[in-house]
Amino acid sequence: MTAQDFMTILDSKSLAEVLREYPLGRDFLANFRLNNLAQELTFSQALLEVEEEALAEFGLDRMGALKDFAEFLKQFTPQENLLAEVKSITIIGGWNKAKTPETISLTISAGEIISIVGPTGSGKSRLLNDIECLAQGDTLTGRTILVNGAELEDIQRFEMEGKLVAQLSQNMNFVMDLTVREFLEMHAKCRLTPNVNEVVAICFQCANQLAGEKFSENTLVTQLSGGQSRALMIADTAFMSDSPIILIDEIENAGINRRKAIALLAKREKIIFLSTHDPLLALSAHKRIIIKNGGIAKVIEISEAEKESLGIIENLDNTMQRLRTALRSGEVICMRDLRESSS
Amino acid sequence: MKLITVAGPPSSGKTSVILKLIGAMNRAPGGIGVVKFDCLTSFDNLSYEEAGIPVQTGFSGKICPDHYFVSNIEDAVQWGVQSGFELLITESAGLCNRCSPYIKGILSVCVIDNLSGVNTPRKIGPMLKYADIVVVTKGDIVSQAEREVFAFNIRQVNSAGKVVFVNGITGQGAFILAKYLRQARDIQSLRDTRLRFTTPAAVCSYCTGEIKIGAPYQMGMMKKMEFKQV
C-alpha cells in the first residue's frame, strides 16, 4: 500500500475505525499532542477542531498532518522483509596493513558460527566494521562483502539502516526503567509482531533457561545480574530481532550457559560472528578466522581432533563454574573438587 | 563548496561524530572546515584544532541560539568559500528541543544518543523531524533491543529520514555516513534559501532584558498556561 492509499483510508473511515485497524496510529497522535481528537469523525474533519497554531508548533498544517499520518501508517505496516532473504554472506579479501593481498573468499551461510581470533589491535574490529557497512572494496581494507552472492548498490546499503547486524557485547546494559515483561512487550510492538504474548512468553522462558539464576517477569531489567541481562539479550536477539547477522564480542562466563546461547542463535538461522579468545566458544564454532596485522591470515575449519578436545575443555569449564558456585555459597575449596572433574 | 548542518542536544556526541566523519572522508588537510555555534562556552574547538581542522566558534550569549544561527550562517558560508574548503560543517546545540537549524536543500543531520531514554525521540520535535539523517550514538553500551526501540521511535517522528548508528569513540558507522553525505549539494551562497522551520517566536519584554516577575512587566509575545480548577 502506498501513502496515497492510506490518505484515502484516512479520508473515508472514522478515526475510531482507523485506530482499531492500526493501533499504532495512537502513537502518531500522541507525538503531536492530538490524543483528544473526536474519534467518530475522519482525521481531517477532527483536525478542523484543532487550532492551527497548535499544529504549527510541530511544523505542521492540516494538509501536512494528513500526509504525515498516511506516511506514518505506511511506514509501520509490515512489508516484505529484505532482511529475511539474507541466506549467505561472502567475504572477499582485500589487503592487510602491509598491503599484502588477503587471498580468501569465504562464504558463510545462515546457521553458521564463525569465530574471529587475533591479538588486540590486529584488526578484528575492522573486519566486523566491513561486515556491518557491507564494504564494497571502498573501505581501508579493500574487502568486498557479498550478500547472497551479489554485490550491493550504495542505495541498498543505506536502506539496510543498520538493521543487517545485531550486536552483543559485554559492555552492554539495559538502561530502560521497565520490567522484563514490559520491556519484551515494547520490543515486540516495535517489531510489529502480531502475536505479542506468544513471542514474549518464548523469549522469557528461553532467557531463563540460559541464565544461571532464574528471574521473574516482574524484575526490572536494570536489576538483572550480568548473566541474566546477557541471557535476556540473547533470547531477545534470537526471537525478536530482524537482523540476520549477529556480532558477538566476548561473552563472559558468569551466570550464563554460553554454548547453549550461541547454539540457540544458530538454530534461528542467523549468521554468527564471535570475537572471542574463549577456547570453549572458539571451538564450538564451525570455522575460525585468524587476524594478523590488519588482515585475514588464515581460515581454519574446526577439525575432528579439535572437536574431540572440546569435551575436556568443557569439563575444565564446568570445574571452574563449580568452584565459583562453591565460593559464592561460602564453601571451602579442597583438592577433591578438582579431581572430580578430571575423572 | 558543500555544506552540511549538524544539530543535536548537548553532549549527544556531535563533535565526536563530526571528527570521525571527517576522518572517514579521507580528504587533504584543510579541505574541510567547521563552524561551531554554541551558547556560552565551548571546548570543542580544542578537539578540532588538535585534529588540524580549521574551526570558527561563535557564542550566541543572550541571543536565542536559533536566531543567532540564522543571522550568521550566510557569513559562515562565505568564510568557508573564501577559505577554499570543499566542505563546511556547521555544528549547533539545540537547547530548547524546538530548535531546528535546517535549511531547505542543505543536508541536515541530527545527532541523538541512546542513553537519553527511549521516548526522547518523541519529545525532540522539529530538530529530529526535519533532519535528513538521524545519527544515533552510544549504541555500544545499551542492548540491541533498546537500540531497535530507539530507532523505531525515531521513525515514528521522522518517517522519511535515514537512521545511522555511529560509535563516536571507535568511529564504527562513520564510513557509511560519510558516503551518504557525499550527496550534499554544492553551493556558493545561501542567499534567498529558506529555513525548514520557523525559529522560536520571541519578542517579549524578557527578550530585551526585563527580569522582574508579574503581569505588569510582561509585554509583547506571550503564551499563557491554562490552569484548571482541581
Cell output for B174: 562513520
Out of B115, B149, B170, closest to residue A125 by CB? B170
Which of A27, A49, A75 is the endpoint of a domain?
A75
Nearest CB to B144: which of A68, A71, A233? A233
* Same domain as A275, residue A172: yes
Same domain, A50 and A178: no
If we measure between CA atoms, which residue out of B128, B99, B60 comes closest to residue B198?
B99
Instruction: For residue range A242-289, list pLDDT tens digits in order.
Output: 789 998 887 766 677 888 888 888 888 899 999 888 888 888 899 999
Q: What is the pLDDT of residues A199-240, one digit of tens each?
A: 999 999 999 999 888 999 999 999 998 889 999 999 999 998
Give the Cα separation of A251 and A241 in Å (integer): 19
Q: Are residues A64 and A182 in the same domain?
A: no
Which candidate, A24, A72, A7, places its Cα nearest to that of A192? A24
Per DSSP bridges, beta strands A287-292 and A113-117 are: parallel
Does the beta-carbon distance from B149 to A157 stay under 8 Å?
no
Residue percentage of chain A with pLDDT more than 90: 38
B39 pLDDT tier (thresholds 50, 70, 90): confident
The candidate with the shortest Cα–Cα distance to B6, out of B32, B37, B29, B28, is B37
Tell me the pLDDT band of B55, cut-offs 50, 70 and 90.
very high
Judge contact between B173 and B84, C-beta under 8 A.
Answer: no
Residue among A57, A59, A171 minimizing CB distance to B130:
A59
pLDDT-derived band of residue A82, with 50, 70 and 90 as boundaries? low
Chain B interface test: which of A24, A66, A75 (most B C-beta within 10 Å): A75
Which chain B residues have a beta carbon less than 8 Å from that of A236? 143-145
Position A80 confidence tier, pLDDT thresholds 50, 70, 90 = low
Q: How far apart are CA B214 and CA B109, in angstroms?
A: 40
Per the structure, the complete domain to which residue A232 belongs is given by 86-302
ipTM of model: 0.80
Q: Establish if B169 belongs to a structural domain.
A: yes
Domain hosting B135: range is 2-217
Q: Environment class of residue A247 by beta-carbon count within 10 Å: exposed (0-12), middle (13-18) or buried (19+)?
A: buried
pLDDT in tens, A141-181: 999 999 999 998 888 887 776 788 888 888 888 988 899 99
- Does residue A321 fall inside a structural domain? no
Question: Which whole number is the average pLDDT over B14-42?
Answer: 91
- Is the pLDDT confidence value at A59 over 80? no
- Contact between B140 and A138 using a beta-carbon 8 Å cutoff: no
Q: Does residue A341 sit within a domain?
A: no
When computed from its CA atoms, the radius of gyration of chain A, rounded to whole angstroms, is 25
> Does a structural domain hold residue A254?
yes
Q: Quick check: A233 and B146 CB within 8 A? A: no
The answer to whether residue A322 sits within a structural domain is no
Of B144, B176, B179, the CB nearest to A166: B144
Q: For B161-215, how does the pLDDT look when each residue is reduced to its tens digit (9 = 90+)?
A: 889 999 988 888 898 899 889 889 999 999 999 988 887 777 788 877 788 888 8
Q: Are residues A134 and A243 in the same domain?
A: yes
Q: How far apart are CA B56 and CA A298, in angstroms?
A: 48
Task: Please check whether residues A206 and A247 belong to one and the same domain.
Answer: yes
> What nine digits make up the cell of A122?
590486529
Whether the per-residue pLDDT at B98 is higher than 80: the answer is no
A236 and A192 co-located in one domain: yes
Q: What is the pLDDT of residues A83-142, one digit of tens each?
A: 678 899 999 999 999 999 999 999 999 999 999 999 988 888 889 888 888 899 988 899
Q: Which helix (H) or strand (E) holds B33?
A: strand B32-38
A26 domain-assigned: yes
The verdict on B144 touching A (C-beta cutoff 8 Å) is yes
* DSSP letter assigned to residue B200: P
Mean per-residue pLDDT over chain A, rounded: 87
What CATH number is attached to the domain comprising A171? 3.40.50.300
- Domain match, A101 and A167 both: yes
Distance, in angstroms, between A286 CA and closest chain B CA?
25
B164 touches chain A (CB under 8 A): yes
Interface test with B, best of A22, A36, A55, A58 (most B CBs within 10 A): A58
Q: Is residue B226 part of a domain?
A: no
**What residues of A are in contact with residue B152 (Cβ under 8 Å)?**
190
Closest CA to A281 of A253, A241, A254: A253
- Report yes or no on A182 lying in a domain: yes
Q: Which of A75, A109, A133 is the last residue of a domain?
A: A75
More confident position, A290 or A255? A290
Does some domain include residue A144? yes
Mark out the alpha helices in A245-330 (DSSP H runs). 258-267, 279-284, 304-328
The cell numbers describing B150, all together, are: 530507539
Query: In Å, what is the CA distance from A204 to each residue of A175, A200, A208, A231, A266?
Result: 18, 6, 6, 10, 18
| Most A CBs within 10 Å, among B176, B194, B195, to test the A interface | B176
- Count Cβ–Cβ pairs < 8 Å, chain A vs chain B: 110
Whether A196 and A245 map to the same domain: the answer is yes
Residue A131 lies in a domain: yes
pLDDT at A343: 45
Find the mean pLDDT for residues B98-102.
78
Kindly report, residue by residue over B189-203, the tens digit of the pLDDT: 999 999 888 877 777
Q: B199: domain CATH number?
A: 3.40.50.300
Residue B94: what pLDDT? 64
The verdict on A225 and A255 lying in the same domain is: yes
Could you tell me if A92 and A227 lie in one domain? yes
**Which domain-ending residue is among A32, A47, A75?**
A75
Whole-angstrom Cα distance, residue B13 to residue B140? 13
> Does B148 sit within 8 Å of A237, measured CB to CB?
no
Residue B25, domain member (yes or no):
yes
pLDDT confidence of residue B95: 62
Q: Which cell numbers hold the place of A77?
A: 505496516
Same-domain check for residues A252 and A294: yes
Tally the domains of chain B: 1
- Residue A152 shares a structural domain with residue A252: yes
Domain count, chain A: 2
Please report where in the chains the cell 515494547 appears, as a residue: A186
Which pLDDT does position A125 carry in this prediction? 84
